[in-house]
Amino acid sequence: MTPSPVLEERTRVAIIGAGPSGMLLAHLLAQRGVESVVLESRSEEYVASRIRAGILEQSTVDLLREAGLAGRLDREAQEHRGIYLQWPEERHHLDFVALTGRTVHVYGQTEVQKDLVAARTAAGQRVHYEIGDTALHDLESDHPSVTFTDRAGRARRVAAEVVVGCDGSFGPSRAAVPEAARRTWEKTYPYSWLGILADVAPSTDELIYAWHPDGFAMHSMRSSTVSRLYLQVPNGTDVDDWSDDRIWEALATRLGHGQDGWQLTPGPVTEKSVLPMRSFVQTPMRHGRLFLAGDAGHIVPPTGAKGLNLAVADVGLLAPALAAWLVDGDRRPAEAYAETALRRVWRCTHFSWWMTSMLHTSGDPFDAQLQLSQLRWVASSEAGATGLAENYAGLPIGF
Ligand code: FAD
Ligand code: PHB
């Protein structure tokens, strides 16, 4: 029996990954007249329901507004002026508006994803979900392509002018850069986060980042009725060892229940998971006609809320650069992408590492004194507070 022929499809940009970076890139390219095909290994529902990031920095919100994607965000997201930094007996508010004139918005990644999918579906975007065997080919030639097996088991090929790897930390794109042409930097941390989602009104108006001798804790939120909270736990922690009662008790201790009359209100836990923490950068973010964006190129620990924002910043740079090349024939912005994007990547990598190192306990009493000294300086000096605020609320795209 002769094998069935490979189904061929042609597009200008083949985008691997339908997460926020892939779908936003497809949207920004379409607005510039560049057509694309998105390839995704999971189902549309699975991608839409992954509980991940929750904070959008100012430049992310600005970009989503400019792209016409912020209708629901503007109606439903909560705008925050800043955050609280806390350690035993002390809680300090950092007011980003007073310090930098910028704010952040609480709007879950699940909601950003829904808005992106709705916009792309309305525009007739080609997306292949539930594909397998994704493989990248001929990236150093003028005719790159991606092969895969579709949901029905048929072999397919998308021929493109450019391939963009938006396939996150476990996708094949970053490894498609030959070993001799790539360099990686990596740091793992000796702790993880236990995160919960709870059906209870937040006990705080803005996020609380808390240093505590038992370990870091954070109080975040998704809406006026849904709270998101995190606890520092050792690597290898089994989520089943943490009953809901044990989690709420640890959160109450670390977040300072009773301190100055503040109360943490517990509620039904609807999701519970352990997240390992890693800093990772791979360079260059471009090889031949392959470009990397978002988690495919870099990963940050979540303490500074930078992962999703960095993914948005990458594609915010890449979309006009690819349009300049594919529409106007000017390759220079695309050639500069890797270097320009990397400057911001390292800034956010440093900030995420710094927030993580300042707030998580290592068990070393010397480190603890340094952390407390640093926290006091950040909370009480305008220079210290402005440095945190500027990085947290986000540097302009292209920084
Ligand atoms: P992703 O969202 O990972 O999307 C990549 C897509 O590529 C996925 O849909 C994946 O299924 C697809 N893909 C993978 N392999 C293939 C393949 N072979 N073929 C086709 N498609 C493929 N950031 C924060 O700021 N705050 C947080 O609290 C936070 N929590 C997080 C929790 C977890 C568990 C994780 C993993 C990340 C978290 N992040 C957080 C980071 C943030 O969610 C990411 O930075 C963001 O999702 C990056 O978007 P992306 O589109 O680049 O990658
Ligand atoms: C979240 O709400 O999930 C969140 C917020 C801020 C962070 C990390 C995660 O720094």
Residues ≥6 apart with Cβ < 8 Å to 322: 13, 29, 34, 162, 164, 291, 334
7-79+104-185+278-360 matches 189-276+361-391 in fold: no
Q: Does the CB atom of residue 14 touch ligand 1 within 6 A?
A: no
- Tell me the C-alpha distance between 212 and 153, whole Å: 52
Which of 188-206 are b and which e, b meaning 16 or more Cβ less than 10 Å from the residue's Cβ? ebebbbbbbbbebebbbeb
Pairwise CA distance, residues 221 & 108, whole Å: 9
Here the tokens at position 70 are 């912020």
- Of the candidate CATH numbers 3.40.50.300, 3.50.50.60, 1.10.287.110, 3.30.530.20, the domain formed by 7-79+104-185+278-360 belongs to 3.50.50.60
From the CB of residue 144, how many other CB atoms can be counted at a distance below 10 Å?
21
Percent of the chain scored above 90 by pLDDT? 96
Q: Is 302 in the pocket of ligand 2 (CB under 6 A)?
A: yes
Q: What is the CA radius of gyration of the chain?
A: 22
**For residues 301 and 359, is the Cβ–Cβ distance under 8 A?**
no
Residue 280's SS3 state is strand
Sign of the torsion formed by the C-alpha atoms of 307, 195, 279 and 381: positive
User: Hey, whose CA ends up nearest to atom 33 of ligand 1?
Assistant: 52
Report which residue type is found at 110: T
Q: Is 249 helix (H, G, I), strand (E, B) or coil?
A: helix
What pLDDT score does 4 carry?
Answer: 75
Contact 202, 53 (CB under 8 A): no
Within 13 Å and on the Cβ side, how many CA atoms surround 398? 9
Length of the chain: 399
* Most informative mutation of 45, 83, 308 for ligand 1 (most atoms within 8 A of CB): 308
* Phi and psi torsions of 311, nearest 5°: -60, -45
Whether pTM > 0.95 for this model: the answer is yes
- Reported as a single tens digit per residue, the pLDDT across 146-199 is 999 999 999 999 999 999 999 999 999 999 999 999 999 999 999 999 999 999
Alpha helix segments (H runs only) across 51-142: 58-66, 71-76, 96-100, 109-122
CA of 157: how far to CAs of 35, 43, 181, 293, 356, in Å?
Answer: 16, 19, 25, 22, 42
Residues catalogued as catalytic: 80, 209, 302, 306, 392
**What architecture is the 189-276+361-391 domain classified under in CATH?**
2-Layer Sandwich (3.30)
Three-state secondary structure call for residue 25: helix
Average pLDDT on 202-206 reads: 98
- 203's tokens: 């006990």
Residue 246, C-beta contacts closer than 8 angstroms, at least 6 positions apart: none
Q: Ligand 1 centre from 103 Cα, in Å?
A: 24
Residue 301 Cβ contacting ligand 2 at under 6 Å: no
Tokens standing for 191? 């702790």
* Domain ranges for the chain: 7-79+104-185+278-360, 189-276+361-391
- 159 three-state secondary structure: strand
User: What is the model's pLDDT at position 396?
Assistant: 73
DSSP code of residue 359: H
Backbone angles phi, psi at 85, to 5 degrees: -110, 135
* Residue 1 pLDDT exceeds 70: no
273 in helix, strand or coil? strand
Only one residue has tokens 């790539």, namely 182
370 Cα: distance to centroid of ligand 1 (angstroms): 33
Distance 259 CA to ligand 1 centre (A): 37
pLDDT digits (tens, 9 = 90+) for 39-81: 999 999 999 998 889 999 999 999 999 999 999 999 999 999 9
Ligand 1 touching residue 165 (CB < 6 A): no
Condensed to tens digits (0 to 9), the pLDDT of residues 212-263 reads 999 999 999 999 999 999 999 999 999 999 999 999 999 999 999 999 999 9
Cβ atoms 230, 215 nearer than 8 A:
no
Handedness of CA 204, 115, 102, 352 (dihedral sign): positive
